[in-house]
Structure 1
Amino acid sequence: MPSIHASNALQPFRVLDLSRVRAGPTCVRILADFGADVIRIEPPKGVDPNEAMFAADRWSGDFQNLNRNKRSLTLNLKKPEGKEILLKLVRDADVVVENWRPNVKNRLGLDYESLAAINPRIILASISGFGQTGPYVDRPGFDQILQGMGGLMSVTGIPGQGPVRAGLAVADSSTGLYAAIGILTALIERQQSGKGQWVHASLLHSQIAMMDFQAARYLNDGDIPIQVGNNHPTSSPMGLFAASDGNFNLGASGEGNWIRFCNVLGKTEWLSEPEFADEKLRVKHRARLNGLIQDVFSTQTVDHWVEQLNNAGVPAGPVYTVPQVFEDPQVKHLGVAKTLSAWEGGERQFITQPVTLTRTPAHLERSAPGWGEHTEEILSDLGYDDQGIRRLYKDGTV
């Protein structure tokens, strides 16, 4: 079988990807980019009423970016032979990833215990909105729902304007990352025990984990985080300021940065100002301090201040639009975007993996597959002849 191996790092492993939308494909994309043989298993066209949401537009940049380096097998798991084919694949697989509602895999007989009975080394990764048990186990969960329930929307936005969703899928993407970490940990542990295990991650838990210091402040100090707009909740001066020609971000937290910052602005008298004597006082008197800083910043351009501050070791940076991001020289140097030929012809651009391994780095080898593009080669490898494959197509199994 001509597997796709984008890297040597995970080349020995085969992953069966039953996931859809974002959290699951994000998880599996990491494994694929580091060389796992990933088989994306999806229903034949017309079987799933929600297919337009997660599979129909194969050419979209989002679908391509989520599903590169994978092969595609169509399989109708509601048909007995469709499930039989999946279980044949499970026998030699290392990982199965799914993000159905928790009761679906039990109904299909694809729960961990059933899979482990066929292959004791299998690792089942289950991604859900709310977890595999508990009072919300049957609830559907989308990213924005969990941004709200995980606290993120309550601390995002300008004070007084009401809750605001983050401009990216924080709950989905972080759950995919946490699930991938769980899978890799389980693969390492399997080297010792020889046994697989069930890995599960939820959008709710992941979103709360991403709250990190905001949640820890509440749990340990009773400090309830609120919206502070573009200011940092516990550091000052730190936030968004306007230069003469646009906005930029400043991060002058900590005493060392504060001293360097005052020197850059030529405002050393601020160092002896009682209201600015330490970080807590600068946060308390932030409105006054920010006003003084803004008066100075408005006299020069973004480029001037970013250069002067960075040269002094004070973090500062422009606020880019998305097109400007990809024109930045450091972004280009890091190889953040890569162009590949797509399966229908033409080219697509992809975001590369942000983690670099020096000996076995991730690679982007192929664009996302066409719907069922590899069905015949995968079935042939399982022992089906041409006649058998035609029969499976005819009866809607694949």
Structure 2
Amino acid sequence: MNSAPLKGIKVLDLTIVLAGPTCGRTLAQYGAEVIKIDPENRKPQLYQWIDVSRGKKSVSLNLKSPGGKETFLKLAEKADVILEGFRKGTTDKLGIGYDQIRKINPKLIYASINCYGHKGPWQFRPGFEQNAQAVTGIQMRNGSNESGPRAATYTLNDYGTGLAAAYGVMLALLERNKTNKGKHIGASLAGTSTFLTGPYATSFKDEFLKNDIGGPGLRGRGPLCSLYECQNNEWIFFKITNETQWVSLVSTDQFKVLAKNPLFSSFALREDNKSELFIILREIIKKKSALEWVEFFKGLNIPSIKNTLAQEIHASEYNTTRKMIVSKDYSNDKNYLY
């Protein structure tokens, strides 16, 4: 990528796990030279390299030793960006905090990532993905009255915070072009989690507060905007947004039973009789495959999509053509799978 927008930018990546490394990976994808700094006692893990460390260079340093710290400071003198995800105060104790680094490199962008933010009473608390989910209510809304709170099964805050931090770094670099000065920026998992659940952070007329447990629906916002099981354990999501789509649906042979039911003759009645509508739709949709339903809804101009498995994503010719999926043989590295 000779024309990559971040070509010529040097980044020192001190982070581990997902959020910080995602930030570094994103910067590398846009052309930055990212050098991953690993502690001597932490062995590189192949799956993390494949996911969030691709495109990076690496070096192993003991920052607590004079030689390791001296080497890092030499790198920092010529770096544009430093990424760190230590608990607040740790980098200061190591002698590589922002106030210490900017004395030798006043134009440096220093990005700090943690769970709860870098100000306030929780700034020194450790925390990870699930902690951020809990403190922002995601686990409440991911569960139900029957199951209680339930952790989300994917690390939305880790990856989201990495992207947000990369965005912040790019803005700080843009500002540096105007001011010729560096900056200390921060990103947090809890901040990302709050942003991603924005409607629940808004209390206008208690619109979202009343449905906090279980959210707007475990599988959607109602029977006409929901997930349904099809044949062969496949699932489909479809959404009907207006009366025209509803009329087109109930005019078909498969769904004409709904047109004859007075419980569903208006939008208000369909809202009042959601449970009954759910039951009927489940019974009908279970009779065909997901792909059959996708074609059916396509003909009615109703948005629908089959839920896709990871192996289907990997096998997609479209994804491989766009290089969203890239194959590489790691069979010779089997001894390095830790």
Structure 1 residue aligned with 2:32, among 36, 41, 46?
Answer: 36
Could you tell me which residue of structure 2 aligns to residue 302 of structure 1? 290
Q: CA deviation at 1:24?
A: 0.3
CA contact (8 A) 1:252 1:261 kept: no
**Cα deviations by residue, 1:138-162 (Å, 9 ceiling, x for unpaired):** 2111111211112111111344111
**Cα deviations by residue, 1:59-115 (Å, 9 ceiling, x for unpaired):** 3x2332211111111111112232222121112111100000011012123222222
Q: 2: distance between equivalents of 1:81 and 1:196?
A: 26
Q: 1: distance between equivalents of 2:260 and 2:101?
A: 65
**Map of 1:87-102 to 2, 5 A cutoff?**
87-102=73-88
Residues 89/244 of structure 1: CA separation in 2 closer, same or farther (3 Å cut): closer
3-state SS of 1:326 partner: helix
Residues 120/268 of structure 1: CA separation in 2 closer, same or farther (3 Å cut): farther
3-state SS of 2:89 partner: helix
3-state SS of 2:82 partner: strand
Residues 112/295 of structure 1: CA separation in 2 closer, same or farther (3 Å cut): same
Deviates more, 1:21-30 or 1:115-124: 115-124
**Map of 1:5-24 to 2, 5 A cutoff?**
8-24=4-20
Structure 2 residue aligned with 1:138, among 124, 128, 132?
Answer: 124
Number of residue pairs aligned between Structure 1 and Structure 2:
330
Q: CA deviation at 1:238?
A: 1.4
Structure 2 residue aligned with 1:277, among 262, 266, 272?
Answer: 266
RMSD between superposed Cα atoms in Å = 2.8
- Larger RCO of the pair (alpha carbons < 8 Å, separation 6+): 1
Residue segments in structure 1 that go unaligned for 5+ positions in a row: 348-368, 371-398
CA contact (8 A) 2:143 2:213 kept: no
Residues 283/333 of structure 1: CA separation in 2 closer, same or farther (3 Å cut): farther
CA contact (8 A) 2:320 2:326 kept: no
TM-score, normalised with respect to structure 1: 0.75
Q: 1: distance between equivalents of 2:276 and 2:168?
A: 46
Q: 2:59 matched to 1:73?
A: yes
Q: CA deviation at 1:258?
A: 3.4
**Cα deviations by residue, 1:289-328 (Å, 9 ceiling, x for unpaired):** 1122223223322221111112332222223332233234
CA contact (8 A) 1:7 1:34 kept: no
Q: 2: distance between equivalents of 1:127 and 1:33?
A: 20
TM-score, normalised with respect to structure 2: 0.87
Q: 1: distance between equivalents of 2:333 and 2:299?
A: 43
Structure 1 residue aligned with 2:234, among 239, 247, 260?
Answer: 247
3-state SS of 1:16 partner: strand
Deviates more, 1:78-87 or 1:101-110: 78-87
Deviates more, 1:242-251 or 1:262-271: 262-271
Could you tell me which residue of structure 1 aligns to residue 314 of structure 2? 326
Could you tell me which residue of structure 2 aligns to residue 208 of structure 1? 194
